[in-house]
Amino acid sequence: MLAFMGKIHLLPPSEIQKIAAGEVVERPASVVKELIENALDAGATEITLFFEAGGKDLIRIIDNGCGMTEDDAQLCIQNHATSKLTTVEDLSAITTFGFRGEALASIAAVSHFTLKTRSAENHLGITIAVENSEIVSTAPIACNQGTDITARNLFYNVPARQKFLKKDETEWRALHQLIIAVALENLSCTFTVHHNGRQILLCPSCTTLTERMSQLFEPAIVPHLLSCNQTLEQKETSPLTFSALFTRPSRTRYDKNQIYCFVNRRWVKNHKLAQAFIKGFRNILPPQQYPIGALFLTLPHAEVDINVHPRKEEVQFLHPIRIERFIEETIATTLDNTVQSDLGAQRQNNFEYAHTSSFRPATRPAFNPTMPTTAFKNVFQNYNAAPLENQNNQCCTTEECVHEQQDTLVPQTTSSSARLIGQLLNTYLLVENEDGLLLIDQHAAHERILYELFATRFGSLAPIELLFPQLIPLSSEECNALLPHLPFFHEQGIEIELFGENRITVRAVPAPLKNSNLTDIVRTAAHWILEGFTLEETNIVEKLYEKLRAMMACKAAVKAGDVLSQEEMLELIEKLGAIEHRTTCPHGRPTTWRFTQYDIERFFQRCG
């Protein structure tokens, strides 16, 4: 009988460590999370971080914590070496961030790893270099008390993992979000962050969460902040406590990335907690907009399991429904009280105003039937109008009618005269021609005109230099998102320059934007850039620029409710007629609606 060689064999320890490291080390942000938590557990009050290429090429973290002795330093890079627990029962009341003793060993297994450290009782520190989980050198070194860890070329020895790392911008955003979360929870610690040789963030220690949010986002956020603090008594155990600091509905973002949830001082990614927070706003928020918020939940350790995820990013609750309802109701109550307070102040102001002001006549009549007939050349020349009912005489839905209007609003070659009747509700222009009545949405029409102007060559319009350059404060996230795209804004006629830390200045804009809210435009652009980088599309830059042009056109266009002069209305109609894609605004809303003579006579039952 032939003897067959066994197929099962033991892996070498170095390979075992690389595979195990994948559970703890997924990307640069997971490395930094472990190292920052170790620094905080060591009592650090100052943490300085250096990154290159989103942390893929370099991660360096320096802290002023208690440091380690030579023996502890050599032991800490061994697997399952920890100072934080001795038995599994300790997990039920763990208060430190780290506890498994896997982090440093895992990081050292997949990077070029260097550790420098000194404890208070030693005059000299020690430096240790590690390659493939093996110590390759040790030496005494003169250094400050604390720990200095460097990890270079993450996953250099695990190509299968390295190729799944994202591009630098994506990895940097994950790092930035992590650092914000850690800084929100640890007010007594100073954080300094450098990326690619530039200081990105400086957060001195502070005493209030409001001050910290001002540092991390911008000082202008402070007037928009609301706070709450509520306790829920529980019969069977200790009470739950929920506190939060978050922005009013007047200050929102286009994503949920700035909602930070903390459970027993630990930052966790819990979709249901964030969703309960958002539900508390109860339709107050505009569509697809979300608040900035820091949420803090404190509950008995027996009611939460923090050991369900290798990187401790997720938690499991004993009573999740109770917690979610508690958060939702607390936020809703806070907002209701705030709205009532604001309404009370507004009513008082309105009452005082009513007694100190008088009625004023309109500066321009809203409707003037004596306006002269005007010949529009090449504009709305006998459009074929979509019927108000379909061919089966069934009423169309709004969506169907708009679709038909878009398909049939095609100008004919014959010219005809048209008469501007006037402005309806300070929002719509009424135009009569031989075919019937045309209703034009002034905002949608102007938006389309500006979009086409921007798309063909925004820069061909000579930029208007602002008499006083506008200084716009940004969060570090917004600033870093905008910087690579400054050439695009320059090409479009918007002169933007970096002006100090997390601030830009706008020096010139195209004429259509001269009266626009530039801060709103810049911030919205930054959020869309951040959102766009997460999309896996080859033409993402082109799509992003189209979206930016549409946004700038929307901000610069006349608004519903703006009173227009006859000359302004005529110019708007002429320009709309001169462009090709005039049936909708860049966001898809119709610019015009036509009522043919047949439509009108059928409504009044004048046709057979």
More confident residue, 605 or 268: 268
DSSP 207: S
More confident residue, 393 or 499: 499
Q: Residue 416's closest CA among 386, 376, 371?
A: 376
Q: Residue 591's closest CA among 408, 405, 381, 437?
A: 405
More confident residue, 552 or 430: 430
Q: Is the pLDDT assigned to residue 312 strictly greater than 50?
A: yes
What is the topology classification, in CATH, of domain 372-608?
Ribosomal Protein S8; Chain: A, domain 1 (3.30.1370)
Q: Residue 170's closest CA among 270, 29, 310, 291?
A: 29
pLDDT digits (tens, 9 = 90+) for 379-416: 444 443 333 444 333 333 334 444 444 433 333 333 35
pLDDT band at 540, cuts 50/70/90?
low
Domain covering 13-203: architecture? 2-Layer Sandwich (3.30)
Q: Is the pLDDT assigned to residue 352 strictly greater than 90?
A: no
**pLDDT for 323:** 93
More confident residue, 485 or 14: 485
pLDDT band at 528, cuts 50/70/90?
confident
Q: Which two tokens stand for residue 223?
A: 């007037």
Strand, helix or coil at 555? helix
Task: Supply the pTM of this predicted model.
Answer: 0.64
Q: What's the mean pLDDT in 243-265?
A: 90
pLDDT band at 347, cuts 50/70/90?
very low
Residue type, 547: K
Determine which of 38-42, 255-259, 326-330, 478-482 has the lowest per-residue pLDDT on average.
478-482
Q: What's the mean pLDDT in 362-382?
A: 39
Q: Which two tokens stand for residue 538?
A: 């080859």
Query: Of the spans 145-149, 312-316, 590-594, which averages the highest pLDDT?
Result: 145-149
Whether the CB-CB separation of 256 and 288 falls below 8 Å is answered with no
pLDDT band at 3, cuts 50/70/90?
low
Please give the class, per CATH, of domain 209-337: alpha beta
**pLDDT for 453:** 83
Q: Is the pLDDT assigned to residue 238 strictly greater than 50?
A: yes
Share of the chain above pLDDT 70, in %: 74
Residue type, 65: G
Residues 6+ apart with CB under 8 A from 361: none
**pLDDT for 516:** 75
Q: What's the mean pLDDT in 316-341?
A: 87
Q: Which residue has the tokens 């780290």?
A: 98
**pLDDT for 280:** 92
Q: Which two tokens stand for residue 438?
A: 């045309």
Other Cβ atoms less than 10 A from the Cβ of 423: the count is: 24
pLDDT band at 131, cuts 50/70/90?
very high
**pLDDT for 22:** 52
**pLDDT for 350:** 44
CATH 3.30.230.10, the chain: domain bounds: 209-337
Residue type, 164: F
pLDDT band at 21, cuts 50/70/90?
low
CATH 3.30.1370.100, the chain: domain bounds: 372-608
Any long-range contacts for 468-472 (C-beta under 8 Å, 24+ apart)? 469/505, 469/506, 469/507, 470/505, 470/506, 470/518, 470/519, 471/499, 471/503, 471/504, 471/505, 472/503, 472/504, 472/505, 472/506, 472/518, 472/519, 472/522, 472/523
Q: Is the pLDDT assigned to residue 242 strictly greater than 80?
A: yes
More confident residue, 178 or 530: 178
